């Protein structure tokens, strides 16, 4: 007789707990399950489903309804119609869930929170592919990564424990729910960990402040370095925070110190990748050591690093260079493709970028390596810089005091803004196009 596959309930929360806030309306788990059942009853029979609802509650509702019907959800933070159409075609999406009008070559349904009778908390097989997440494509073509239900649940519960999130906490996220970081922290965390999500979406500083002010304490802000910098730059006051979580890009020590001083709350960084999910964290201020989540095991050696994650079938190779600091703690050295060598010296592009953005007057910037750096002895690094009031010559003069002469950028391209996506990521091809256009 075949043994039944183990299963975990759709949500680990008690029926009376608030799982989400929609404006001033607190949605309990009991109501959520009823609305999941009502939506599941009218969904098409077959998936997968492309879910790009901007309203986080509707995104969660659609994900949960599809999951309860045994359907996989396709998640992409890139919401352009062409990108969504490509994903739908390549992965056989049968329909889409959206809360905005969009033209796609498949049926598009608008999920709604319909009242329904009390409904059970359905069991979901741990091995079911609940979602397929797509990488940002910042270093190449976007790639799909299947997410078993058991892995998503383990990650959410580990994060809730790591950050000591109270059941009554309010979670405001500035990252799209379809981005893996946003999906884990603003959908899966309320579903399988603790806290109540905020429907949102929020992006601009005034949106963030307004959303936080409208929610009960304790409040947790989930954001990115790019959005933190913009928020701090406005001087807008925030209500008391219990904590701040950051990911998607390296967080400069100066920005971390400014954020903690302004908001009076601990700031933590998450380390992860779309391939593996969130797997470690650290206190952003004054701590270079990362601590793995419970149950996560890193293997770090000369050939690279892998991470074994509960619920995933095999260890995941990582694109970053890591080294052990001691038992259970590691240091992040940078991406393996991030290291460059010039005039017999080595440097990290991300490290050079950090020095660039620390220059007074520089609002944003990035170092770039040309494709022929390893084979052309005359090749040099370039930099794209956002610094109103500064010239390229002034930027180079400031860098000359901070970096080796071989790594000084030639050229320095001054731009009005960098082509960042909604979570602050930069695609190499977009940067090269911008650099060549000047």
Domain boundary at 291, 309, 334, which? 334
Find the Cα–Cα–Cα–Cα dihedral 62, 66, 72, 73, rounded to 10°. -10
Q: What is the DSSP string of 380-436?
A: --EEEEE-TT--HHHHHHHHHTTS-GGGS-SSEEE-S---B-TTS-B-HHHHHHHHH
Residues 254, 354 share a domain: no
What would the mean pLDDT of 227-246 be, rounded to a whole number?
Answer: 94
Residues 214, 289 share a domain: yes
What would the mean pLDDT of 253-267 be, rounded to a whole number?
Answer: 94
- Determine what percent of the chain is predicted with pLDDT higher than 70: 96
Residues 244, 219 share a domain: yes
Confidence of residue 422 (pLDDT cuts 50, 70, 90): low
Res. 371: pLDDT tops 90: no
Residues 290, 193 share a domain: yes
Residues 186-228: tens digit of each pLDDT: 999 999 999 999 998 788 899 999 999 999 999 999 999 889 9
The angle formed by the CA atoms of residues 193, 44 and 151, to the nearest 5 degrees, is: 25
What would the mean pLDDT of 240-246 be, rounded to a whole number?
Answer: 97
Asked whether the beta carbons of 374 and 349 are under 8 A apart, the reply is no
For the chain, the straight-line distance linking the first and the last C-alpha, in angstroms and rounded, comes to: 69
Residues 361, 283 share a domain: no
* Phi-psi map region of 70: left, alpha, beta (phi>0 left; psi -120 to 50 alpha): left
Lowest mean pLDDT among 131-145, 296-310, 338-352, 403-417: 131-145
Mean predicted lDDT score pLDDT of the chain: 90
Domain with 178 in it: what CATH number?
3.40.50.12780
The answer to whether position 271 is within a domain reads: yes
Query: What per-residue confidence (pLDDT) applies to 143?
Result: 83
Domain boundary at 286, 307, 334, which? 334
Asked whether the beta carbons of 57 and 75 are under 8 A apart, the reply is no
What would the mean pLDDT of 320-337 be, rounded to a whole number?
Answer: 87
Residues 298, 264 share a domain: yes
Residues 324, 390 share a domain: no
The answer to whether position 1 is within a domain reads: no
Residues 374, 253 share a domain: no
Domain boundary at 269, 301, 334, which? 334
Asked whether the beta carbons of 299 and 305 are under 8 A apart, the reply is yes
Domain with 348 in it: what CATH number?
3.30.300.30
What would the mean pLDDT of 356-385 be, rounded to a whole number?
Answer: 87
Name 20's Cβ contacts closer than 8 Å, sequence gap at least 6. 26, 27, 32, 56, 57, 60, 190, 196, 197, 198, 199
Res. 323: pLDDT tops 80: yes
Helix 349-357 to helix 392-400 angle, to the nearest 10 degrees? 110
Residue among 279, 289, 281 nearest 310 (CA) = 279
Name 232's Cβ contacts closer than 8 Å, sequence gap at least 6. 255, 258, 259, 262
Res. 337: pLDDT tops 80: no
Residues 256, 388 share a domain: no
The answer to whether position 2 is within a domain reads: no
Asked whether the beta carbons of 7 and 88 are under 8 A apart, the reply is no
Confidence of residue 3 (pLDDT cuts 50, 70, 90): low
Residues 302, 164 share a domain: yes
Q: Whole domain around residue 369: which residue ranges?
A: 343-436
Res. 137: pLDDT tops 60: no
Query: What per-residue confidence (pLDDT) applies to 1?
Result: 47
- Determine what percent of the chain is predicted with pLDDT higher than 90: 64
Res. 264: pLDDT tops 80: yes
Instruction: Tell me the whole-structure pTM to 2 decimals.
Output: 0.85
Query: What per-residue confidence (pLDDT) applies to 188?
Result: 98
- CA–CA dist 430, 435 (Å, integer): 9
Residues 289, 368 share a domain: no
Report how many domains make up the chain. Answer: 2
Res. 101: pLDDT tops 90: no
What would the mean pLDDT of 127-141 be, rounded to a whole number?
Answer: 77
Q: Which residue has the tokens 């095999």?
A: 314
Residues 395, 426 share a domain: yes
The answer to whether position 98 is within a domain reads: yes
Residue among 74, 99, 94 nearest 84 (CA) = 74
Around Cβ 407, how many Cβ atoms within 10 Å?
21
Res. 406: pLDDT tops 90: no
Query: What per-residue confidence (pLDDT) applies to 141?
Result: 60
The answer to whether position 3 is within a domain reads: no
Residues 37-87: tens digit of each pLDDT: 999 999 999 999 999 999 999 999 999 999 999 999 999 888 788 888 888
């Amino acid at each position: 007789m075949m043994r039944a596959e183990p299963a975990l309930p759709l949500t680990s929360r008690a029926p009376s707990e608030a799982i989400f806030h929609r404006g001033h309306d607190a949605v309990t788990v009991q109501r959520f399950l009823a609305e999941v059942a009502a939506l599941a009853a009218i969904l098409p029979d077959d998936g997968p489903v492309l879910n790009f609802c901007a309203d986080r509650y509707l995104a969660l509702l659609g994900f949960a309804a599809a999951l309860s019907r045994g359907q996989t959800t396709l998640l992409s933070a890139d919401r352009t119609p062409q990108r969504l159409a490509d994903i739908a075609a390549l992965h056989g999406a049968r329909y889409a869930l959206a809360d905005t009008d969009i033209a796609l070559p498949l049926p598009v349904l608008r999920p709604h929170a319909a009242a329904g009778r009390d409904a059970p908390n359905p069991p979901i097989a741990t091995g079911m592919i609940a979602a397929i997440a797509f990488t940002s494509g910042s270093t190449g073509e976007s790639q799909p990564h299947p997410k078993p239900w058991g892995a998503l649940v383990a990650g959410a519960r580990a994060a809730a424990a790591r950050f000591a999130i109270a059941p009554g906490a309010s979670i405001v996220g500035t990252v799209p729910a379809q981005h893996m970081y946003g999906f884990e922290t603003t959908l899966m965390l309320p579903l399988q960990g603790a806290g109540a999500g905020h429907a949102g979406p929020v992006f601009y500083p005034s949106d963030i402040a307004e959303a936080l002010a409208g929610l009960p304490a304790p409040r947790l802000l989930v954001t990115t370095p790019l959005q933190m910098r913009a928020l701090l730059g406005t001087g807008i006051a925030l209500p008391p925070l219990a904590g701040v979580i950051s990911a998607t890009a390296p967080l400069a020590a100066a920005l971390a110190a400014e954020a903690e001083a302004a908001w009076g709350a601990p700031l933590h960084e998450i380390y992860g990748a779309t391939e593996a999910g969130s797997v470690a964290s650290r206190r952003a201020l004054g701590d270079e050591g990362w601590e793995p989540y419970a149950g996560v095991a890193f293997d770090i050696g000369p050939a690279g690093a892998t991470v074994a994650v509960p619920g995933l079938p095999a260890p995941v190779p990582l694109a970053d260079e890591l080294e052990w600091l001691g038992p259970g703690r590691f240091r992040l050295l940078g991406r393996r493709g991030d290291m460059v060598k010039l005039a017999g010296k080595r440097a990290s592009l991300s490290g050079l970028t950090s020095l660039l953005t620390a220059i007074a007057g520089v609002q944003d910037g990035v170092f770039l390596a040309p494709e022929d750096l390893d084979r052309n002895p005359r090749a040099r690094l370039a930099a794209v810089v956002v610094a109103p009031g500064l010239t390229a010559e002034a930027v180079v003069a400031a860098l000359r005091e901070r970096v080796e002469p071989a790594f000084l950028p030639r050229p320095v391209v001054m731009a009005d803004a960098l082509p960042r996506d909604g979570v602050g990521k930069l695609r190499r091809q977009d940067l090269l196009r911008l650099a060549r256009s000047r």
